[in-house]
């Protein structure tokens, strides 16, 4: 007996006499003398239709099955007479693995996103969330594939750290029942500083892992726990850094359009009717690249009323970012050379002593997808910047050592994985692209 996932079965070119499938009942329709069971095992969006004949010895029990019950079906794969499906399974034996009753919260009607968040332990069983989590998996794979093809090394950076990479003070503290580390410890906000040390040894590296931020911002784009992809490259300048970021995004969108087509079509049908057009346009675009100064000028000249006033020196808010990429350029935009006052200590100081070699990639509907920079490789200037900001240099002795010995120009960036998945699916709330989101006042499941 050959056990098959439904995806593999639906992709077959030839029928088979004997197959075993296991999955959950999505719908059932009883007819005279037999029933149609729609079975889904999560391997793909589509169900397989199973025909249960009344001659089955447990037919009376099968007839009573509710949505969500689990079954194992032995049978023949035959050509389906129905036009919407290629194959169906004529059951020789149906084993009932478990049964649900009418209290099962996922009934056949459409449920709201808000309601489904309250049953996040069950929502992966819906078409929409099954598709989201399959896409997450495919795209995570594509990210590794992209970097592997470019000769990058996948590195693992610590989750428990004693340093604040971004210097924004948004760290979760870690406590134990005794003073475990002999110093205060926190969950990492970014693996960058460690990634830099590896890049200064094996050149091109990336880390892809969970990061944590205690920002008290209850927005659609912020989670307290999210995944970040952080490449770090020795001998790259800001220009090369921007080009890599662009290449990565284009690669991933094309990958999704080719390899997740069925799931993306579901989002195009129910979430965002322009989705495929938007993704196609992005994947054929060249990203606009403008300096922060130019961006500020465009925002001022636009005459548009923003909640936050525009002047040189402000941090761009999501309303500004969305205006630039969604309304003004209608394309992804990379903004570079930000004022040093609003960016982290490690970014390379430009000759104007006012801006740093930072870059943010903004995309339609999401705003900031990537933040990165060329790093300050000059020891004296790095120390000067740390003093200026008031960072304790002795705490970062190891980081400064990397500039003391064999320092070279290098660059990198961080891409928010959830925001990428939002871009690819058209989903507008970060809570709906991560299985069990962590946000202020929300630590269920
Ligand atoms: O711009 P950020 O803060 O950059 C860094 O952490 C750098 N150290 C990365 C690097 O250069 N290696 O964060 C990078 C990206 C953002 O552009 C955004 O997409 C995502 O991480 N991000 C969040 N995603 C979800 N929830 C949050 N609270 C996020 N904060 C940042
Ligand atoms: Mg940022």
State the pLDDT at residue 378: 98
pLDDT in tens, 48-97: 999 999 999 999 999 999 999 999 999 999 999 888 889 999 999 999 99
Mapping DSSP to helix (H, G, I), strand (E, B) and coil, where does residue 425 land? helix
Interval 403-429 mean pLDDT: 98
Query: Are both 137 and 236 inside the same structural domain?
Result: yes
In a domain, 265, yes or no: yes
If you write DSSP's letter for every residue of 148-211 in order, what string do you get? HHTTPEE----SEES--SS-S--PPEE--SS-SSSS-EEE-S-SHHHHHHHHHHHSEEEEEEEE
| 128 and 71 co-located in one domain | no
Q: Which of 411, 419, 432, 433 to mutate to test the pocket of ligand 1 (most atoms within 8 A of CB)?
A: 419
Question: Which residue carries 């004693």 as its tokens?
Answer: 162
Nearest ligand to the C-alpha atom of residue 215: 1
76 and 153 inside one domain = no
Q: Is there an atom of ligand 1 within 6 Å of 131 CB?
A: no
- Predicted confidence (pLDDT) per residue in 245-275, tens digit: 999 999 999 999 999 999 999 999 999 999 9
pLDDT of res. 425 = 98
Q: How far, in Å, is the centroid of ligand 1 from the Cα of 416?
A: 6
Pocket test for ligand 1, best of 318, 343, 416 (most atoms within 8 A of CB): 416
Half-sphere exposure of 132 (CA within 13 A, CB side): 29
pLDDT of residue 2: 84
| Residue where a domain terminates, one of 59, 81, 98 | 98
**Which ligand is in closest contact with the Cα of 219?**
1
Number of domains in the chain: 2
Q: What is the DSSP letter of 426?
A: -
Q: Is the pLDDT of residue 355 over 80?
A: yes
Q: How far is the CA of 95 from the centre of ligand 1 (A)?
A: 48
The pLDDT score that the predictor gives to residue 110 is 86
Sign of CA dihedral 167, 173, 179, 180: negative
- Closest C-alpha to ligand 1, atom 1: 371
- What CATH number is given to the structural domain containing 42? 2.40.50.140
User: What confidence score (pLDDT) does residue 101 get?
Assistant: 92
Same domain, 60 and 135: no
* Residue pair 53/34 in contact by the 8 Å Cβ criterion: yes
The answer, yes or no, to whether any atom of ligand 1 lies below 6 A from the CB of 35, is: no
Answer whether residue 105 is part of any domain. no
- Evaluate whether 22 touches 41 at the Cβ level (below 8 Å): yes
Q: What percentage of the chain reaches a pLDDT higher than 90?
A: 93
pLDDT in tens, 145-173: 999 999 999 999 999 999 888 888 899 99
Answer yes or no: is pLDDT of 1 > 80: no
Domain end position, chosen among 35, 63, 98: 98
pLDDT at 405: 98
Average pLDDT over the chain, rounded to whole? 96
- Domain with 211, as residue range(s), is 123-432
Closest ligand (CA of 338) = 2
We report the CATH number of the domain holding residue 155 as: 3.30.930.10
Q: Are residues 190 and 263 in the same domain?
A: yes
Residues 129 and 227 in one domain: yes
Q: Is 431 in the pocket of ligand 1 (CB under 6 A)?
A: no
Question: Among residues 83, 98, 113, which one ends one of the domains?
Answer: 98
Determine the pLDDT at residue 309.
87
**Residue 412: inside a domain, yes or no?**
yes
């Amino acid at each position: 007996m050959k056990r098959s996932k439904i995806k593999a079965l639906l992709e077959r070119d030839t029928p088979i006499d004997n197959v075993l499938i296991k999955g959950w009942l999505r719908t059932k329709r009883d007819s005279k003398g037999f029933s149609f069971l729609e079975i889904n095992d999560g391997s793909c969006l589509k169900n397989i239709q199973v025909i249960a004949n009344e001659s089955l010895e447990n037919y009376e029990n099968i007839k009573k099955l509710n949505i969500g019950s689990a079954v194992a079906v032995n049978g023949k794969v035959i050509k389906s007479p129905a036009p919407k499906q290629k194959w169906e399974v004529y059951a020789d034996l149906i084993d009932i693995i478990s049964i649900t009753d009418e209290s099962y919260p996922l009934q056949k009607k459409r449920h709201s996103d808000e309601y489904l968040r309250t049953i996040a332990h069950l929502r992966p069983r819906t078409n929409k969330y099954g598709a989201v989590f399959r896409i997450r998996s495919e795209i995570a794979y594509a990210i590794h594939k992209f970097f592997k093809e470019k000769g990058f090394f996948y590195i693992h950076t610590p989750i428990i750290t004693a340093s604040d990479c971004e210097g924004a003070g948004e760290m979760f503290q870690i406590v134990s029942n005794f003073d475990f580390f002999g110093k205060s410890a926190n969950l990492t906000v970014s693996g960058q500083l460690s990634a830099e040390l590896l890049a200064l040894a094996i050149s091109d590296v990336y880390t892809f892992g969970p990061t944590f931020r205690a920002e008290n911002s209850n927005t659609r784009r912020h989670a307290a726990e999210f995944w970040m992809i952080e490449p770090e490259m020795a001998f790259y300048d800001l220009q090369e850094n921007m080009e890599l970021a662009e290449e990565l995004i284009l690669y991933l969108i094309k990958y999704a359009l080719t390899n997740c087509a069925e799931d993306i079509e579901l989002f195009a049908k129910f979430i965002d009717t322009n989705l495929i057009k938007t993704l196609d346009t992005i994947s054929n675009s060249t990203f606009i690249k403008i300096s922060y100064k130019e961006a500020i000028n465009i925002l001022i000249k636009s005459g548009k009323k923003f909640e936050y006033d525009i002047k040189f020196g402000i941090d761009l808010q999501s309303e500004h970012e969305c205006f630039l990429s969604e309304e003004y350029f209608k394309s992804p935009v990379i903004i570079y050379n930000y004022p040093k006052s609003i960016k982290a200590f490690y970014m390379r100081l430009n000759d104007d002593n006012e801006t740093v070699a930072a870059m943010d990639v903004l995309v339609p509907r999401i705003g900031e997808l990537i933040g990165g920079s060329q790093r300050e490789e000059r020891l004296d200037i790095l120390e000067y910047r740390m003093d200026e900001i008031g960072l304790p240099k002795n705490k970062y002795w190891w980081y400064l050592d990397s500039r003391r010995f064999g320092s070279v120009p290098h660059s990198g960036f961080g891409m928010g994985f959830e925001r990428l998945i939002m871009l690819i699916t058209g989903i507008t709330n970060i809570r709906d692209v991560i299985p069990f989101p962590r946000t202020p006042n929300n630590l269920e499941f």
